[in-house]
Amino acid sequence: MEGIEKYRKAGKIAVEVRKFGEPLVRPGIRVLDIADKIEKKIMELGGKPAFPVNISSNDNAAHDTADINDTRVIGEGDVVKLDFGVHVDGYIVDTAATICLNKDFSDMHKVSQLALEEALKLFRPGGTIKEVSEVIEKTIREGGFNPISNLTGHGLERYDLHARMEVPNVKTNIDYTLKEGDVFSVEPFVTNGGGYVIEGASALIYGYEHDGRIRLREGTKILEMAKTKFDALPFAGRWLAGSIPTIKLKIALNQLSQIGALHSYAVLRERENGIVVQSEHSVIVGDKPEILTL
């Protein structure tokens, strides 16, 4: 399989970084400090971030990361999803853990972990996405909670974070048959809310889409960095803070998003303000599924 050792190296880095990152999440610690330390650790270990580390708390489910000069801190009793990716020469793994600073939500967390464990067993040649999704939903509902229906796992390919088939957390008609060597990220999202996320007002993560007609020279610089420095993978506005003055950077990012040259990833929150937990691993399909991030 092409890139197998690079996938494995990325996985080993991700495991070490996750162990490093979880203890950082405690009350009073700045979100910005956690993000910076995790992303720095990935690079120290020989990888690159496949996307900005997501630090999404409570009813925020995904796509929340630190902003430039972010003053937010982890609160007492927060339920924090720590979601990050590592790539080695474009071969990506994606993993997440939930840190429950409020023990009232420990059972929900255990259900997400169980749903992930049961799903990963099915990543053998000849299995189907339909079977995987059905098991995820069944496990979550039997645990007394709701899966988030519009958040999914996804295929992984070189320099492609969301490749091929989705892996829904609810029963689906997707009848894709798993093949030897396929790589997927599986991520059950579980909530005590209604099970549906909506976009919030803010976006702190961006992804390259195409070159556009740009009025600001800072916009040209951002697109060039998005393609080359960040390998056309998602990036954070704060990653550019040392290259472009903050005010001009925010104006340019907004303009590029408006014309579609960049995709802006809005923070996603549970529609009924339910608490959300997440568990995630990346896996290679085989007779014995190889879990890269375990």
3-class SS of residue 207: strand
DSSP 79-120: EEEEEEEEEETTEEEEEEEEEESSGGGHHHHHHHHHHHHHHH
- Choice among 39, 64, 67, 94 that is catalytic: 94
Phi, psi for 245 (deg, rounded to 5): -55, 145
User: Catalytic pick from 64, 187, 218, 270?
Assistant: 187
Active site residue 187: yes
Establish whether 33 is a catalytic residue. no
Among residues 39, 59, 83, 218, the one annotated as catalytic is 83
Q: Is 104 labeled as catalytic in the residue annotation?
A: no
User: Contact, 170 vs 273, CB < 8 A?
Assistant: no
Phi and psi at residue 68, in whole multiples of 5°? -60, 130
Known catalytic residue at 154: yes
Pairing of strands 48-57, 235-236: unpaired
Identify whether 263 is a catalytic site residue.
Answer: no
> Is 83 one of the catalytic residues?
yes
- Looking at 16, 22, 157, 162, which residue is catalytic? 162
Strands (E), 222-261: 235-236
Q: Which of 290, 276, 278 is nearest to 120 (CA)?
A: 290
Does residue 27 sit in helix, strand or coil?
A: coil
Choosing from 154, 166, 182, 218, which is the catalytic residue?
A: 154
Q: Which of the residues are catalytic? A: 83, 94, 154, 162, 187, 280
